[in-house]
Structure 1
Amino acid sequence: MYNEQGIQQDSASWVFFVKACFVAAIGALGGGIFLMPADMWVKGYLLMGMLFTVGSTFTLAKTLRDQHEAQKLIYKISNAKTEKMLKEFEINNN
């Protein structure tokens, strides 16, 4: 789905689905840690590991997205320069 500026956007139903899956996954993992037959320090360690994993996953995803967006911008600028050089070459040869 694209908006008026030609930027691709996800549908509202897809965004809801992704958020619901995230909440379900975190809830299931947290519930599993809470209900497992282990000492509190083991549960705390697993919970801390889960939180660090989720946080680092968000950071990794954002970083990869930013790199992708930067690369798209670089390609766009490069294509614009190439188009300009080709137009100038065309004008000079006519």
Structure 2
Amino acid sequence: MATPKFDAPATHTNAWIFQTWLAFILSLSAMGVGIYLLPLNGWMKSYLGMGFVFSISSTISLAKTTRDLEESKRIFNRVDEAKLEKLLAEYDPFNK
């Protein structure tokens, strides 16, 4: 079974990009306001804020790492497929 070729990455529409940024900004704002309005002292709010920031940064790092791993698999598959095509192109079963 042949593997599908991934010639070009999928592109996103402007509406999708806007929606993802809007959702990110709204969730960030809602969580920030929620932490700010908690009936806690400043140290506890700061601790929750730090945890929130670390959660965001680790989520971004995880998403980037996952994307990079998938892209490296595509590149490896392309190189492997090119080697196989070259080998098949050079092979002549009638020339012995």
Instruction: Return the TM-score normalized by structure 1.
Output: 0.87
1:28-87 Cα offsets, whole Å, 9 max, x none, are 001000001111111000000000110111111111111110110000110111111111
Paired with 2:44 and 2:37, the residues of 1 have a C-alpha distance of: 12
User: How much does 1:18 deviate?
Assistant: 0.3
Detail structure 1 runs of 4+ shifted over 3 Å in the superposition: none
Instruction: With a CA cutoff of 8 Å and minimum separation of 6, indicate the structure with the bigger relative contact order.
Output: 2
Structure 1 counterpart of 2:67, one-letter code: R
Structure 2 counterparts to residues 1-94 of structure 1, below 5 A:
6-89=8-91, 92-94=92-94
Identical counterparts, % of pairs: 35
Aligned residues: 88
* Structure that is richer in helix per residue: 1
Residue type matched to 2:84 in 1?
T
- 1:22 match: secondary structure: helix
CA RMSD of aligned residues (A): 1.2
TM-score w.r.t. length of structure 2: 0.86
Give the match's secondary structure for 1:93. coil
Deviation of the 1:7 alpha carbon: 3.2
Distance in 2 between residues matched to 1:11 and 1:49, nearest whole Å: 32
